[in-house]
Every structure is written in structure tokens, then in C-alpha cells.
Structure 1
Amino acid sequence: MNPVLIRTLAYLKPYWGLLVISALCSMVVGAMDGAFAYLVEPVLKKIFAGKDTGIFLLVPVGIIALFVLRGICRFTYDTTIKLAGQKAIQDIRNDLYSNTIRKDMAFYNKQATGELMSRMTNDIGMMQDGMANVVCGLFRDMISFISLLSVIFYRNWQLAILCFVVLPITIYPAQLIGKKIKNSARRSLDVMGGIGTILQETFSGIKVIKAFGLEGTVIDRFRSENLAFLGQYKKFIKYESLAMPVSEMIISLGIAAVVWLGGSQVMSGRMTASELFSFIAAMIMLFNPVKKLQGSYNTIQRSAGAAERVFQQMDAQRTVTEQPDALEIGRVTGRVEMRAISFGYGDETIIDQISLKAEPGQMVALVGPSGGGKSTLAALLMRLYDVNQGSILLDGHDLRHLRMDALNRQFALVDQETTLFNDTIANNIRYGKPDADDAEVEAAAQAAFAHDFILELPEGYATNIGDRGIRLSGGQRQRICIARALLKNAPILILDEATSALDTESEKMVQQALDNLMLNRTTFVIAHRLSTVMHADTIVVLEKGRIVEAGSHADLIDGSGLYSRLHGLQFSDQEPGAV
């Protein structure tokens, strides 16, 4: 059996009780097909040959009673197996989401957001078709097939062999077409992932699209990708539509042979007409579960294509891993040391032999041209990536020797891209400390100078701020992020261009909030505007991944290095008194 299918079906194991109920009801429904076919001959014989009017009158009542029982059993197995399938799909979706969230940043650098979303929705949706619809019919149709096959062999084994010879002939084309269905389904899902990426990019960047008048460009791009999806899906439609006609044409050979040979036996007196009628009824009924089983096989192949993509994402290896004997540490003092660290992607070096120390409570500024490695250095400090060479120590402990959850508790981040969620203001702040009470949330907001504007909102702290905080100004969003970092109360703070996108008035307010946040914390500040880091204990100037200068503002400004030149460029055209 396909390993992907085995892995998928393993998710049904916790719901074996529902499966047992469904299996028992399936056995009743499947066995009834055989019973109907078997009873055709004796009932017809008694009615027409024996002139038994009593049986004739009971037949309609018996048919109704049997179909009522069949309907109850069919409803029971259908609902139980679909419920078990839905629960299993829910578990798969939960596992995929939690597994994906726990991947490291190297994984996300290689994956488009729309592609990840497509696997969570389209791929799992296709798996759901296989889990809910196929599994519920597979067992029932197999029981029906076995019971009907038993009847036709009992009635006339010579005619049954004709049927049995034809059935295996359908297996090869079914497998061949099933493989084509699987591949075309997988390719169509790949293209659908590209469509998801376009949707994510265009909807999140709609302001830029509107500002630059790019509506026509993105519409053309979407139509092109949508056309590519149609091209792949047409292949899927062709193969799925081809499966049943091919199977029926092969099966017709068996039916023709049975009619010819069976008719010959009736005419020669070796078989009664009622026996032949019973056999043909069983044979026709037999081919029905065969066709259903083939349809189920095709759906399984389609689901397998989706499952492969889902499990491929689950199984993607992390580059940042936790050691089995990793240390659990409490709150650190904030002493950081980088020892000759280097980092890069492939042959591209981004950080090259950097050594740096920060004592508890100190402010270290990282400045320099774009692409110098400032944000990468901060990411390495939080162990979003592992260094290729050297080591980073936190209170004397190598980051690679610490538990990930313990390490995460030591850092708070305020980024230039204010990451807020479509939730209330209180809950956005509470991301810093999920178990914080309302008083703690309010205290953090006050320290971030956000409390006053929050109270002016329609529902105060219960106000929903919309997607990515769109209902707030840039300065307000940033202060919410600062409140979140204050609530976390981590010993080490990383500020990545936290005021770069703000106007002068907002920057002053945010800077006051940042001053509160940096108090008694080791702080790493990434900045392009040197006016925000002049009071740093140490200013580290990075260029092309290397430290070219380090010292206080006063020391660096007196020199003739890169910092002095950058300072001259930024302040040369400011008029006296300008901020």
C-alpha cells in the first residue's frame, strides 16, 4: 500500500469506535446486495412456477422493510465514517499548522506565503474528499463485491469465471489512469499555490497597486496563472473522465460473454430462465461496486497527490534545532558576547568574523549602509538562524545549548514593520504575556504612551484594530508594539528601525515610550538615522558584514571613518535648530 496513504489513514486510528460502527453497518448494506441477488431466483420460482400468491403479496412488504433497514444502516455508516474522516482531517490540519509555525526562518525564506496558505486550504480540502468520501464507500463496496461474487459463483461457476476473468483486465488501465490523475492533481495544486501567492501579494500590497496604477498588470498576471491552472486541470478532467468509460468497455466484454453462454445453457435446458435472471441481476449489481471501487481508487490517487505535498511540508527539516540535553535557564542578566561569528547563504557571506560584547543594561547601536548585516546580526542573536562559524554567548551560555522556549523568553523585539493582528488592542498587547490581566495590559500601555489614544477609541481596549492594525496610525501601531514588548519584560531588547517610518511628532512620542522600554535592559538598536543612537554606550558600524568601526559617538565623530562620513551626509543640509 502507498506509504502516503498509510500515513493518512493512521490519523483515523483515534476514532476506531466510529470506524467499527461504520464497518458493521457497511457489512449489513453490502451483504444485502448479495441477499437481493440470491433471493431473486427462489422468489421468482415460487411466484411463477409454484403459483404461491402468499409470497407474491409479501414481496412488496419485504422489499419496503429491507430498504428501511438498509437506509438506517446506510445513514449510520455514512455519518459515522464521515465524522471520523472530518476529525482526522482536523488533526492533519492542526498538525500541519503547528508544524509549519515551528519551522525556522530558513524555511520561510524559501516558501511563498500564498503557497503555504494553499497547502493549508486546497491540499487539505482535496485530502478531505479522499478521507470522507472514499473510506466510507471503500469498505461497503468491498463487502458488496464479495457477497455478490459469492452469489454468482454459487449460481453458475462457469459463467462466474467469465466475469472473474474480465475483472482483472480492468486493473492495469485503472492503475495507469490513476497514476496520471495523481500527477495531474499534484501539478494543478502546485499552480494553485502560485495563485494563492498572487492573491496574498496583491491584497496585502493593494495600496501600492492603486498608487502606481498597476491594476491592469496584476490582473494580467492573475489571468495568466489562472490559465495555467486550467491547463493542468484539463488534464485531470481528461484522465478522470476516461477511467470509467475504459472500465465499462472492458466489462461489457464479460457481460456479452455471459449473455451468450447463459442463453445457450437456458435453450439447451441446462439452466432455468429464473436462474439466468438471478445470475444476470447479481452480475449487473456486481459491476456497480467494481465501478465505485475504481472511482474510489481515482479519488485516492487525487488525495495522495495532495497528501504528498502536505507531508512534504510537515517533513521539511529545520536548520535550527534544539539539542536533547538543552539547558533550561531563568531570566538572564543580559550579558551578550559574539565570538568571531560568520553567517551566510550558500556561497554568499553576510556576516564575516564579527566579535562584539554587550554588558547588562548597555545600549549597543548597529549602524551602517543597507545590506551591511545589521538585521541579520539581530536575527542571529535571537537564534532565528544558527551561525556558520563562531558562537554567541548569553550570560556565558552558547545559544545552541539552550532550550528554545527559555531563549525566547530573554528577548523582546520592536520591528520597523509593526506586526499587529486582526484582534482587539488588549489582545494585541497581551501577545507579550498571554496570561496578563487587564491591569498589567493597561500599565504597559501607559508606559508606552498609548493609554490616552486607546481610551479615545470607540470601545477602548476592546476595539478591534482590523487587518494588520489598519485602523490605527503608524505612531499608534508602533506604541502598541512597544506596549507588547514592555509587557513581556524581557532582559534583552532589539529595536530594528523602530522609528524610521514615523513623522517627527510621532517619533518624539514613540521615542519617549522606547526610553521607558530600554530602562535597565540590554538593548541593541538598528538605525539609519544617527540622531536616534548618539547616546548609545557603543556604536558599531557595519559594512559588508564586517565591523569597520566601534566606539562612542564622540570618539567616532572625531575620526575620518565611515561613521563620520555618514553623520556628515545626514546633518550637512540641516538648518540650525532643525530636529
Structure 2
Amino acid sequence: MTNPPDRNQSPLLQALRFVRPYSRQILLALLALIFTAAITLGLVQYVRIIVDAGFVAGSSQSLGTAITGFVVVALLQAFGTFARFYWVSWLGERVTADIRQAVFGHLLSLHPGYFEDNRSGEIQSRITTDTTLLQTVIGSSASIALRNLLLLIGGVIFLFITNPRLTSVVLLCIPLVIGPIVLFGRRVRKLSRHTQDEIASVGAYVGESIQQIKTVQAYNHQATDRRHFAEYVERAFDVALAQVKARSIMIALVMTLVFAALAAMIWVGGQDVISGRMTAGELTAFVVYAVMVASAVGAISQVIGDLQRAAGATERLMELLNAESLITTPDPVVPLPAEIAGQLAINRLKFTYTTRPGQPAIDGLDLSVPAGSSLALVGPSGAGKSTLLDLVLRFYDPDSGEILLDGINIRHVDPLDLRQHIALVSQQPAMFTGTVMENIRYGRPDASDAEVHAAAEAAYASEFIERLPDTWHSYLGEAGIRLSGGQKQRLAIARAILKNPRILLLDEATSALDAESESNVQMAIEKLMPGRTTIIIAHRLATVRNVDRIAVMDKGQLVALGSHDELMATNALYARLANLQFSTN
């Protein structure tokens, strides 16, 4: 486990906390890097010996000895390269996996309102594309940078040992090389962040279109979507091209300066060989070291571009990790008893969505639901019925007022503890990619197969499950696409039955069912309700006739409370809704 991020640190420093736990692997990778860099530098000395003792001196014995040593060093280099590649790649894969887990785990703890303001496709892009980019940098680019940095330092040292005068020619050019890297580095980082944002927008648009493909095709919207997608792609291309252009200019300037210095060095060294101040082998070794240093500088300049891209990706990932949930565990927390009665009291409740300021969704609501009783919420769209269920589940906290569970303010309760006692069946039931068994067991992961079967039987779902190709082990597809609306609804009810909660929230749970299925499910719900506190949002008369009380809501306020017959006689709004929406004709 890693510690929570320090939001005052830079994104790269925050990301480093995922690397620190693996100090042993880092040490092994560094040792392998140092070993391979030293071997590479040592190979050049064998080149010098081969030239001076073998080619120039004409000694076959010396040449044979030098070649033998060269082969041995090359084998050691191969071993060191294996160790370096393995441990650096291991670090890249491990750290990427840890970051993905940390980001996903944090996302699951964020309040639902966060996902209303941030597109799911962009969030998915950050977890996949951005972490893959980080994996490339940690598992490859960082290794290349460190290896070439060691070669650069070692090469400069050997250059000094071989010929200090020539080395000064190389060192004079270093400030000229560093300049473009600093100048273009910041621009590359900014463009990299912009590129990742545009790529995320492309991914989000693709995901949305695919998820709603039936609507897209039903409205013949393909041509318009293609045009909009092309605009997204072209914007991403333009930003990426600007980034590539900046990196290309940086690399071109660096390489031009490096090889200009190399040409000047070879000319000066050639004059020294002609005058007898150095041997041909020394010049050869010097040239090889100089080329090595030049190549190292060039490689580092390219890697800096990758690091800038990674910095942009890291910023986006750390933004997710730094996102704060508006629904938190209180301190101190008030524990709920293991067995609750389920009495709900709603006092002076007021709530306004941040996206609709000035329009309260719940406005001064007072309502009491005795333990074990049933309450139906009815009213026109926008009356605040679904919002009230969200507040009971503490998906949001009210602006003022309170919701009491057995006399305890739910804001003082751990949300996990609160939701342990509540089951929700929504108007559009959520199905997950997996089997029938897995989707029902979502209500209680430790339930036995027999308990799952019993819950499905109680929800009148067994009949259609048995007709599926693989019965209980049939895969439902993404979002349960292989099921009808009524089948999804019955599985969701089975999931709630399996959880066996004290409080049951039904948000138009029978709205997607045909008359026969509705009758069956209604009987299942009626068997489930006794002894449980139940709040039902329903538009159908059959659903609300047998509840203990009906609450009529309008514009976030309670306008009437009573039985069906009482409200038909005393409340014009309920009577109108009954005639329009509860009609059995």
C-alpha cells in the first residue's frame, strides 16, 4: 500500500511514491545499468589495443589476445543487458499496475456527482492510455536515459584521460546542446498534456457512440457522428503534430551541434596524429568515446521528450488521485448496531444540485417512515423522488436538514456501514459484464449457489434463466445487452432479495415489465417487503395500492400524505396523476 498523495508536490514527485517500495529491484536495475555502461566503456579500450598492438604494430599474438578479451567482454555485456532489461521492465510493469489499481480504487470512493462532471471515456483513457505511456517511460525510456547518462559521464572521463586538449573542444559545446533541450522541453510538456486530453476526447466520443449504437442507427445519425468524430481526430492530430514538430526541432538542433563538435574534434585529433602527439589507436578510442558521448546526448535529448510526455500523462493521473470525494467517512464515526430497526426520519431537508443552482431538488421536506413500513413516492417528473433516494443512500449530502436512521444522523455514519443495510433497485437496472450467477451474487458476494437460486426464484427470474444457452453461467454481454428490459429488472430484484436488507429502495422497479412479469415481480416484492422499511417510486397503481402510505411530492416538497383512497378524495394532484398514470385501462 502507498501513502496518500501530497497534493502540494509536483505530479512527478507524487508518482515517485509508487516506485519507492521497490528499492531492491531499483538497486538491481541500477547495478545492471552501471555494469553494462562500464563494460561498454571498457570495450573501447580493447579497440585501442587492437588498433595499436594488432594493426599498427603488426603483432598477431597481441591481436589474438585482444580479440579474445573483446569476446569475453561482449559476453559479459550480453549478461548485463539481460539483467538490465529484465529488472527495468519489471519495474515499469509493476509500477504501472500499482498506479492503475490506486487510481481505480480511488475512483470507486468518489461521490457520484464527480462522474456527472467528468466523462467516463476520458477517465478510462487516463487509466489505460496514460498509464501505458508511464509504463513505457519507466520500463524503457528511463533505462535508456540512465544508461546514456552513465555513458556520457564515463565517456567524458575517458576523453580526459585520453587527451585533455581535445576534450575541451567537446565540453565547449555542452551548453549549446543543453540550451535547446531546456528551451523546447517545457513546450513539449505542455503540448503533451494537450495531446493526451484530445486523445481522451476521441476515446470518450467512441465509447459514447458505441454504447448508444441503437439510437445512433435508429436516427440515421451515422454521417453526423462520422463528421464530429473526424473533427475530434483532426484536433488531436493537429496538437500531436505541434508536439512532434517541437520535439523534431529540438532533436535536430542537438544532433547538429553534437556532430559539428565531433567534426571539429576529429580535425584537431587528426592534426595531432600527423604531428606524432598521439597514436592512431588513441585517436580511434577518442573518436569512439566522442561518438559514444554524442550518441548519449542525442538519446537523452529524445528521452527528455518522452519524459515530458510522461509528465503530461502523470499530471492527468495525479488529478484523478487528488480528486476529493464530497462524501467522506466522518471523524469521529458513529457506528450503527449490527441489527437496525430501519426507522427513517427526514427533517427540514433541502438539497440543490450544483449544476442547477437556485432550483432546489428537495425543498424543506419533512417525512417519517416507521421501521418495517412501506411508503410510495409519487409525483410529476422533477418532483425530487429519485433525489430523495440518493440522499438516503448518501450519494449526496443535503444543504441543510437531516436524515435520521434509527435516530442517528446518517452524515455521522460510515457510508459503507450505512449502505450495508440498504438495497436499491433502480429504474434502469445495472448489469455487469459476466454471468447470470455473478450478476445476482453482486448483492452478496459470499452467497452460496443455492441462495442465488432461491433469490432468483423469489424474483420470478428462474424461468427465463433456465432457458438461456448456458443457464446460470450464461454471459450477459456489456451492460446486459443480451437480456430484455424485463429480464434485467428481475435479475436486479433477485440481487436485492439476495442482499436481504433492512431498507429497500425501489425506483420504478416494475416499469420495464410486461403485465404478466409485473404481476409476478409485484408478488415477489410483496413477499420481500414485510418486516423491511420500503420506499417505492412508482407510476403504476398496482405498485402503490398496497403500501402503508403514499407521499405526494411536487417541486421537492411534500404536498400530501395518506392512503390511495384518502388522496383520491383530498388531493387534486394525486387524483390527476392517478387518472393519467395509474390507469389500468
Normalized against structure 2, the TM-score is what? Answer: 0.94
1:342 corresponds to 2:367? no
Distance in 2, matches of 1:176 and 1:478, equals 59
Q: Is the Cα contact below 8 Å between 2:378 and 2:551 reproduced in 1?
A: yes
Pick aligned residue for 1:419 from 426, 430, 434: 430
Instruction: Report the secondary structure of 1:331's partner residue.
Output: coil
% identical equivalent positions: 34
Pick aligned residue for 1:294 from 281, 289, 301: 301
Amino acid at match of 1:125: T
Aligned partner of 1:534 in structure 2 is 545
From the superposition, tell whether residues 119 and 48 of structure 1 become closer, same or farther in structure 2 (CA, over 3 Å): closer
Distance in 1, matches of 2:581 and 2:352, equals 30
Amino acid at match of 1:569: L
Instruction: Report the secondary structure of 1:418's partner residue.
Output: coil
Deviation at residue 155 of structure 1 after TM alignment: 1.5
Instruction: Report the secondary structure of 1:11's partner residue.
Output: coil
Aligned partner of 1:257 in structure 2 is 264
Aligned partner of 1:153 in structure 2 is 160
Aligned partner of 2:11 in structure 1 is 4
Instruction: Report the secondary structure of 2:17's partner residue.
Output: helix
> How far does the alpha carbon of each residue in 1:519-544 deviate from its partner, in whole angstroms, 9 at most, with x for none?
22111111233442133222222211
Aligned partner of 1:496 in structure 2 is 507
Q: Is the Cα contact below 8 Å between 1:497 and 1:528 reproduced in 2?
A: yes
Unaligned runs of 5+ in 1: none
Deviation at residue 271 of structure 1 after TM alignment: 3.3
> How far does the alpha carbon of each residue in 1:32-79 deviate from its partner, in whole angstroms, 9 at most, with x for none?
232233444444332355443211123333322221211111011101
> How far does the alpha carbon of each residue in 1:509-528 deviate from its partner, in whole angstroms, 9 at most, with x for none?
22122212222211111123
From the superposition, tell whether residues 158 and 190 of structure 1 become closer, same or farther in structure 2 (CA, over 3 Å): same
Aligned partner of 2:472 in structure 1 is 461
Deviation at residue 263 of structure 1 after TM alignment: 3.3
From the superposition, tell whether residues 244 and 502 of structure 1 become closer, same or farther in structure 2 (CA, over 3 Å): same
Distance in 2, matches of 1:454 and 1:54, equals 84
Distance in 2, matches of 1:560 and 1:356, equals 18
Instruction: Report the secondary structure of 1:78's partner residue.
Output: helix
Instruction: Report the secondary structure of 2:401's partner residue.
Output: strand
1:206 corresponds to 2:213? yes
1:277 corresponds to 2:284? yes
Instruction: Report the secondary structure of 1:178's partner residue.
Output: helix
Q: Is the Cα contact below 8 Å between 2:46 and 2:66 reproduced in 1?
A: no
Q: Is the Cα contact below 8 Å between 1:482 and 1:517 reproduced in 2?
A: no
After superposition, where does 1:309-320 map in structure 2 within 5 Å?
309-320=316-327
Amino acid at match of 2:526: D
From the superposition, tell whether residues 327 and 46 of structure 1 become closer, same or farther in structure 2 (CA, over 3 Å): same
Q: Is the Cα contact below 8 Å between 2:259 and 2:294 reproduced in 1?
A: no
Q: Is the Cα contact below 8 Å between 2:195 and 2:236 reproduced in 1?
A: yes
Unaligned runs of 5+ in 2: 1-8
Deviation at residue 277 of structure 1 after TM alignment: 2.7
Distance in 2, matches of 1:206 and 1:462, equals 26
Aligned partner of 2:339 in structure 1 is 331
> How far does the alpha carbon of each residue in 1:289-340 deviate from its partner, in whole angstroms, 9 at most, with x for none?
1111222211111111011101101111111111132123223111001111
Aligned partner of 1:165 in structure 2 is 172
> How far does the alpha carbon of each residue in 1:145-200 deviate from its partner, in whole angstroms, 9 at most, with x for none?
22111100111222212211211222221122222222222112111221222122
Q: Which stretch of structure 1 is more off in the superposition, 213-222 or 416-425?
A: 213-222
Distance in 2, matches of 1:497 and 1:402, equals 27
Amino acid at match of 2:485: G
Distance in 1, matches of 2:211 and 2:540, equals 27
Distance in 2, matches of 1:214 and 1:145, equals 57
After superposition, where does 1:495-574 map in structure 2 within 5 Å?
495-570=506-581
Count of residues paired in the alignment: 573
Q: CA RMSD in A?
A: 1.8
Q: Is the Cα contact below 8 Å between 1:475 and 1:510 reproduced in 2?
A: no
Aligned partner of 1:33 in structure 2 is 40
Q: Is the Cα contact below 8 Å between 1:479 and 1:513 reproduced in 2?
A: no
Normalized against structure 1, the TM-score is what? Answer: 0.95
Deviation at residue 248 of structure 1 after TM alignment: 1.0
Instruction: Report the secondary structure of 1:325's partner residue.
Output: coil
